[in-house]
């Protein structure tokens, strides 16, 4: 990755932004330049007008369906053109918002009719003259209506202070239907302001309430149909209204797509007079084509300076992600932990390989693997970026199924290319242990390499999982092997292990800034932790063998249960049992493998504190909105 | 796991963070500090930055102080469970509501978008409202329509109707504030016995303060009717409950309201001549209650919230001094402002035993 600084004439800025966007290899760097003369932000006003215009177009787009146009001809959108477009869209939105407001009023009216229908259904059971609720009497005031339920309690008290009574006769979702009754007089005006503040909405009581309820309901249903008709005609009007502008609106969308690159660059742009300054990151391999593109596009001179990232800029340099379609789903899982920082080994290929190996070994079954692969394949349209993960995991499971001779848990149908895990569990455990040791050693070596690359030699030597730590682990393994072989731990391995631990402790003592007692405590605990972590991490890999044994054992349990049933029950138990194994055991194995990767692997060599390369792009459209 | 064990981490964190609160002797000395000393002492680099105007410097300082508070809020909510986190975030959402009110006022008085933008706080994702969308609204009606699509739909719906009649922001702002406190009150009532008492004590004191001040203002400054005044109040779960407020709003003068207050508020506020004086004394009372919760409560979430409230008060104090210095106010004016924000415990003798009893 290289750091580039581009100086162009301000009048060429829009053209430069398009050229950079077309190469898709320029990641803007928003840091301000050191030169204080470059204190203007030439893209700021452009961005503000753009944002307003885009917001207006989006709002219009909610009412009028517009396709997203293709960009065939790339051209510069000048500020004057953008401002004119914004003003035009403003005028158009003024008109369109009237339609939107009308549509919302219809929605409100429909909601009110629905509430009326519900209210009448409730009134139907009452034996009183409801017509009286519609009118004021000489002494009494009636208010029938709706109020948000959350305002009810407070309103009840407030109404009481105005000498009125509030009765809730129905509650629907967030709304309460209430009747408020009280004496006519001066409190009436008080109450009006309270009701307004509480969001009270009058519910009109239909005339001729003494008619048949069914007849009233028919009237209300007709009212709803009328609202629906009005809505339809409003949409027709909207369609007719938009017809003359439609092409121009599509063109407006195209214009905004073309203006977008300069807007995206705004935080990174600075200028002084006619000179504009722009910095960013470009992958080394793309430099030549980027320069060529600028040369072809700009009609005025420009200056492009390229340099390597400085050591203090390391954290700011973006990381280009792996692009292989087979690795993309694994990259998504790596991203859950973090993004590799610049210079750090991207763990995705190693993660993919070790994940598949461990998953296959822990869940090795030709039949189950085939089901996983087929299910993932069938989901390829819904999960276009992730389905390959399932396909590959299924294939790995199938390969290990062939090695173990396992087909839907049956061990007798397929001849094992290697052996069934249950035939020699000790060997399986030894293989898993060996695998774990190799995994930890590789992880430590990668960690050391990453620290060396990021110019941290002391860290590579003394930090956790550094070279001295690795020396301790190797000495510990050596002594452990001698013990397991029936001998003693050995003086040399013991000296190496203790010596490396003391070196680690001394380094920590030097680094820690704390009172002596606290230092002593922390160093003692950390040293003990180093021993425990390496022992437990190594043993942790025994689960790889344990799950392969578990798979066989679970299948045996299912067969035993099935054998206790009749023929239908047998078949049913086998199907459900296999489903159980697939979902539950498959899920658990997946979690366990992720755990091994994140804890035993990534924590040793992967900082994950980088950030992704997001180049400036020109969205070329093509999809309907 | 026992309740104490569950709370241990958060309690420890709060205790450690509480050492950052301004000591009383430091508060006294704040008003005498120069801008240079304030910047160095409290890391206010924005004070020393080259800003085009005093207003810009003041705004930058305010923003950086708010960022300090919100960063601590984010740190404290991390180990909390869902209900605790929701309560603390609801409290922190007041800053999002400041922004909302700024937007409403800006749109209502057709202010320049740049001017509105400059007044908005930068807030973290967890408490932010969709300001950018609201900011792009062309007028108040559109803004209220957009609000109706979110969690403030009820307020926005009724406010739109009020706005169409009256065209003034008071009703909407009052409703926003009322809903804010009502939500806090509602969330507190959902806690179990381990937290409920402490939270009631903490927010009860705050709600008592807010309810009394609103009552006096609405009733005697804005001359609202008793029923409208009552409707706009948020009853406290401690002293000024809904039953008590129903009685208080019907009284004819502020003096009679103060006389009718329950102990210890009656003694605390006796002979308060103005609403500003009531505000000052209630502020002091509320701060003492908050400190008491911070130092004595067993509930970690109540202590965390108490810490944040005190920290907000401290930062506000600091900002008042900075602003006073930037505007070159006389020393005495700054001291008066500090006294208003953090009263030096007026009449503690009258208050302590009664507060304990409450």
- pLDDT (mean) for B189-217: 90
Q: Is the pLDDT of residue A249 over 80?
A: yes
> Nearest by CB to B231, which of A90, A101, A155?
A155
pLDDT band at A210 (very low <50, low <70, confident <90, very high): low
pLDDT in the model for residue A349: 93
Least Cα separation, residue A228 to chain B (angstroms): 21
B230 and B288 part of one domain: yes
pLDDT band at B86 (very low <50, low <70, confident <90, very high): very high
The reply to whether A482 falls in a domain is no
DSSP designation for A42: T
pLDDT band at B3 (very low <50, low <70, confident <90, very high): low
pLDDT band at B168 (very low <50, low <70, confident <90, very high): low
Q: Count Cα neighbours of A308 within 13 Å in the Cβ-side half-sphere.
A: 4
The reply to whether A445 falls in a domain is no
The reply to whether A597 falls in a domain is no
The reply to whether B210 falls in a domain is yes
pLDDT in the model for residue B121: 86
A247 and A296 part of one domain: yes
pLDDT in the model for residue B50: 61
A184 and A253 part of one domain: no
Full strand arrangement of the beta sheet holding A140-148: A165-172, A175-183, A140-148, A201-202
Q: What is the average pLDDT value for chain B, to the nearest integer?
A: 81
The reply to whether B125 falls in a domain is yes
Least confident interval from A101-115, A236-250, B338-352: B338-352
Q: Is the pLDDT of residue B350 over 50?
A: no
Q: CA B245, CA B178: separation in Å to the nearest integer?
A: 15
Is B126 in contact with B95 (CB distance < 8 Å)?
no
pLDDT band at A136 (very low <50, low <70, confident <90, very high): low
- Of the candidates B253, B275, B296, which is a domain's last residue? B296
A101-124 per-position pLDDT tens digit? 889 889 888 888 888 887 777 776
Q: What is the CATH number of the domain that holds A168?
A: 3.30.70.2750
The reply to whether B136 falls in a domain is yes
Task: Give kind and range of the element (H or E) at residue A309.
Answer: none
Kindly list the residues of chain B whose beta carbon comes within 8 Å of any beta carbon in chain A.
113, 133, 136, 138, 141-142, 145, 154, 157-158, 161-162, 165, 171, 174-175, 182, 224-228, 230-233, 242, 245-246, 249-250
In the numeric block, the tokens 């047998």 are attached to: A570
A196:B158 CB<8 A: yes
The reply to whether A248 falls in a domain is yes
- pLDDT (mean) for A70-84: 86
Least Cα separation, residue B30 to chain A (angstroms): 31
- pLDDT (mean) for B127-150: 77
Q: Is the pLDDT of residue A211 over 70?
A: no
A213-241 per-position pLDDT tens digit? 667 778 888 889 999 999 999 999 988 98
Least confident interval from A2-16, A417-431, B24-38, B79-93: B24-38
- pLDDT (mean) for A185-203: 77
pLDDT in the model for residue A357: 94
Structurally, chain B folds into a number of domains equal to: 2
Q: CA A392, CA B15: separation in Å to the nearest integer?
A: 51
B261-310 per-position pLDDT tens digit? 998 888 888 888 788 888 888 888 898 999 999 999 989 999 999 999 99
Mutate to test the interface with A, among B231, B248, B252 (most CBs of A within 10 A): B231
B246:A161 CB<8 A: yes
Is A439 in contact with A354 (CB distance < 8 Å)?
yes
Is B297 in contact with B198 (CB distance < 8 Å)?
yes
> Nearest by CB to B154, which of A93, A104, A150?
A150
pLDDT in the model for residue A504: 92
Q: Is the pLDDT of residue A356 over 90?
A: yes
Long-range pairs of A215-219 with CB within 8 A, sequence gap ≥ 24 = A216/A120, A217/A117, A217/A120, A217/A121
pLDDT in the model for residue B348: 36
pLDDT in the model for residue B334: 77
> Nearest by CB to B231, which of A56, A93, A154?
A154
pLDDT in the model for residue B349: 38
B214 and B237 part of one domain: yes
Q: Is the pLDDT of residue A137 over 90?
A: no
Q: Is the pLDDT of residue A471 over 90?
A: yes
Return the closest-CA partner of residue A147 out of A125, A165, A174, A127.
Answer: A174
Structurally, chain A folds into a number of domains equal to: 2
pLDDT in the model for residue A40: 72
- pLDDT (mean) for A196-224: 75
The reply to whether B331 falls in a domain is no
The domain containing residue B214 runs over which residues?
Answer: 196-296
Higher pLDDT, B2 or B98: B98
Percentage, residues of chain B above pLDDT 90: 21
**Pairing assessment for the beta strands A175-183 and A140-148 based on DSSP bridges:** antiparallel
pLDDT in the model for residue A624: 40
Locate the chain B residue with the closest alpha carbon to A55. Answer: B136
Quickly list DSSP for A352-415: HHHHHHHHHHHT--HHHHHHHHHHHHHTTTTSTTTHHHHHHHHHHHHHHHHHHT-BTTBSSSSP
Q: Is A306 left (phi over 0), alpha (psi -120 to 50) or beta?
A: beta
pLDDT in the model for residue A195: 86
B233-248 per-position pLDDT tens digit? 999 988 999 999 999 9
> Nearest by CB to A148, which of B133, B154, B232?
B154
The reply to whether A27 falls in a domain is yes
Q: What is the average pLDDT value for chain A, to the nearest integer?
A: 87
Burial class (CB within 10 angstroms; exposed 0-12, middle 13-18, buried 19+) of B218: buried
B181 and B201 part of one domain: no
B233 and B279 part of one domain: yes
B136:A157 CB<8 A: no
A158:B227 CB<8 A: yes
| Cβ neighbours, 10 Å, residue A463 | 19
- Of the candidates B159, B190, B221, which is a domain's last residue? B190
B152 and B233 part of one domain: no
B249 and B164 part of one domain: no
The answer to pTM > 0.80 is: no
The reply to whether B142 falls in a domain is yes
| Cβ neighbours, 10 Å, residue B158 | 24
A80 and A143 part of one domain: no
The domain containing residue A277 runs over which residues?
Answer: 2-89+243-316
Q: CA A115, CA A172: separation in Å to the nearest integer?
A: 9
B227:A150 CB<8 A: no
Least Cα separation, residue B263 to chain A (angstroms): 24
Q: Is the pLDDT of residue A566 over 80?
A: yes
A139 and A184 part of one domain: yes
B90 and B122 part of one domain: yes
Least Cα separation, residue B49 to chain A (angstroms): 14
* A566: Cβ contacts below 8 Å, ≥ 6 apart: none
A417-459 per-position pLDDT tens digit? 988 888 888 999 999 999 999 999 999 999 999 888 878 888 8
- Of the candidates B169, B190, B211, which is a domain's last residue? B190
Higher pLDDT, A342 or B306: B306
pLDDT in the model for residue A578: 92
Complex ipTM above 0.90? no
- pLDDT (mean) for A450-474: 89
The reply to whether A168 falls in a domain is yes
Tokens of B210: 């807010």
B90 and B175 part of one domain: yes
Q: What is the CATH number of the domain that holds B140?
A: 1.20.1690
B154:A151 CB<8 A: yes
The reply to whether A279 falls in a domain is yes
Is A526 in contact with A514 (CB distance < 8 Å)?
no
Least confident interval from A308-322, A444-458, B123-137: B123-137
Q: CA A401, CA A417: separation in Å to the nearest integer?
A: 9
pLDDT band at A501 (very low <50, low <70, confident <90, very high): very high
B100 and B200 part of one domain: no
Select the highest-mean-pLDDT range: A120-124, B97-101, B110-114: B97-101
B157:A199 CB<8 A: yes
Least confident interval from A3-12, A173-182, A614-623, B38-47: B38-47
Percentage, residues of chain A above pLDDT 90: 37
A161:B227 CB<8 A: yes
């Amino acid at each position: 990755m290289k750091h580039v600084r581009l100086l162009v004439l301000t009048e060429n800025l829009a053209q430069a932004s398009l050229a950079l966007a077309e190469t898709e290899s320029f990641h803007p760097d928003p840091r301000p330049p050191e030169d204080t003369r470059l204190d203007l932000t030439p893209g700021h006003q452009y961005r503000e007008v753009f944002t307003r215009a885009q917001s207006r177009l989006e709002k219009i787009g909610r009412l009028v369906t517009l396709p997203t146009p293709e960009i065939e001809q790339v051209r510069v959108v000048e500020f004057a053109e953008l401002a004119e477009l914004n003003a035009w869209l403003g005028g158009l939105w003024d008109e369109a918002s009237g339609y939107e407001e009308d549509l919302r009023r219809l929605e409100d009216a429909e909601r009110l009719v629905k509430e009326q229908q519900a209210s009448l259904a409730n009134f139907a059971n009452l034996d009183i003259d409801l017509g009286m609720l519609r009118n004021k009497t000489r002494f009494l005031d009636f208010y029938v209506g709706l109020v948000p339920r959350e305002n009810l309690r407070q309103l009840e008290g407030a109404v009481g202070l105005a000498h009125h009574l509030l009765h809730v006769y129905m509650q629907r979702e967030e709304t309460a239907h209430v009747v408020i009754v009280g004496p006519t007089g001066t409190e009436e005006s008080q109450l009006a302001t309270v009701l307004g503040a509480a969001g009270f909405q009058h519910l009109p009581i239909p005339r001729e309430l003494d008619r048949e309820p069914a007849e009233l309901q028919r009237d209300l249903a007709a009212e709803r149909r009328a609202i629906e008709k009005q809505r339809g005609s409003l949409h027709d009007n909207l369609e007719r209204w938009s017809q003359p502008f439609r092409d121009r609106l599509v063109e407006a969308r195209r214009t905004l797509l073309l203006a977008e690159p300069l807007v995206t660059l705004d935080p990174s742009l600075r200028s002084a007079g006619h000179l504009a300054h722009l910095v960013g990151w470009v992958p080394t391999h793309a430099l030549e084509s980027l320069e060529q593109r600028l040369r072809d596009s700009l009609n005025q001179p420009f200056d492009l300076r390229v340099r390597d990232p400085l050591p203090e800029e390391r954290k700011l340099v973006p990381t280009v992600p792996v692009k292989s379609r087979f690795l993309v789903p694994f990259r998504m899982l790596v991203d859950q932990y973090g993004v590799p920082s610049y210079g750090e080994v991207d763990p995705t290929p190693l993660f993919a390989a070790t994940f598949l190996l461990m998953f296959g070994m822990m869940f090795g079954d030709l039949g189950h693997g085939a089901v996983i692969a087929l299910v993932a394949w069938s989901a390829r349209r819904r999960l276009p970026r992730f389905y390959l993960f399932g396909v590959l995991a299924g294939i790995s499971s199938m390969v290990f199924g062939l090695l173990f001779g396992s087909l839907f848990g049956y061990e007798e149908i397929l001849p094992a290319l290697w052996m069934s895990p249950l035939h020699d569990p000790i060997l399986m455990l030894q293989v898993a242990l060996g695998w774990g040791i190799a995994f930890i050693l590789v992880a430590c070596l990668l960690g050391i390499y990453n620290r060396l690359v990021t110019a941290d030699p002391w860290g590579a030597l003394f930090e956790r999982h550094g070279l001295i730590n690795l020396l301790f682990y190797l000495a510990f393994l050596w002594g452990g092997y001698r013990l397991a072989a029936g001998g003693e731990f050995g003086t040399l391995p013991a000296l190496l292990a203790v010596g490396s631990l003391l070196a680690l402790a001394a380094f920590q003592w030097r680094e820690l800034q704390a009172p002596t007692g606290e230092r002593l405590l922390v160093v003692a605990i950390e040293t003990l932790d180093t021993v425990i972590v390496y022992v437990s991490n190594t043993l942790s890999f025994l689960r790889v063998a344990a799950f392969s044994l578990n798979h066989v054992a679970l299948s045996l349990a299912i067969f035993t249960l099935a054998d206790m049933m009749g023929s239908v029950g047998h078949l049913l138990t086998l199907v459900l049992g296999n489903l159980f194994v697939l979902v539950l055991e498959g899920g658990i194995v997946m979690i366990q493998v992720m755990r091994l990767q994140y804890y035993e692997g990534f924590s040793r060599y992967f900082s994950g504190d980088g950030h992704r390369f997001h180049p400036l792009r020109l969205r070329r459209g093509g999809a309907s909105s | 796991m026992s309740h104490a064990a569950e709370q241990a981490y958060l309690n420890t964190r709060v205790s450690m963070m509480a050492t950052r609160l301004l000591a009383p002797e430091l508060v006294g000395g704040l008003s005498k500090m120069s801008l240079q000393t304030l910047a160095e002492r409290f890391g206010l680099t924005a004070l020393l930055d080259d800003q085009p105007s005093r207003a810009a410097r003041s705004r930058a300082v305010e923003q950086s102080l708010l960022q300090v508070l919100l960063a601590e809020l984010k740190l404290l909510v991390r180990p909390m469970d869902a209900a605790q986190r929701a309560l603390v975030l609801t409290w922190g959402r007041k800053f999002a509501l400041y922004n909302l009110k700024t937007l409403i006022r800006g749109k209502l008085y057709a202010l320049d978008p740049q001017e509105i933008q400059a007044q908005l706080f930068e807030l973290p994702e967890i408490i932010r409202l969709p300001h950018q969308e609201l900011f792009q609204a062309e007028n108040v009606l559109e803004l209220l329509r957009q609000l109706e699509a979110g969690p403030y739909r009820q307020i926005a719906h009724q406010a739109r109707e009020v706005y169409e009649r009256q065209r003034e922001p008071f009703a909407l702002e009052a409703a926003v504030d009322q809903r804010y406190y009502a939500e806090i009150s509602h969330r507190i009532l959902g806690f179990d016995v381990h937290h409920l008492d402490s939270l009631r004590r903490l927010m009860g004191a705050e709600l008592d303060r807010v309810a009394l001040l609103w009552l006096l203002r609405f009733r005697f400054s804005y001359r609202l009717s008793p029923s409208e005044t009552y409707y706009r109040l948020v009853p406290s779960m401690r002293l000024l409950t809904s039953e008590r407020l129903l009685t208080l709003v019907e009284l004819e003068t502020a003096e009679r309201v103060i006389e009718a207050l329950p102990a210890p508020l009656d003694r605390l506020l006796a002979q308060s001549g103005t609403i500003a004086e009531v505000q000052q004394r209630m502020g002091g009372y509320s701060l003492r209650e908050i400190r008491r919760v911070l130092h004595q409560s067993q509930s970690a979430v109540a202590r965390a919230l108490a810490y944040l409230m005190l920290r907000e008060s401290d930062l506000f104090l600091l900002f008042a001094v900075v602003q006073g210095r930037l505007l070159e106010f006389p020393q005495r004016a700054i001291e008066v402002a500090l006294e208003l924000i953090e009263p030096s415990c007026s009449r503690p003798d009258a208050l302590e035993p009664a507060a304990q009893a409450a």
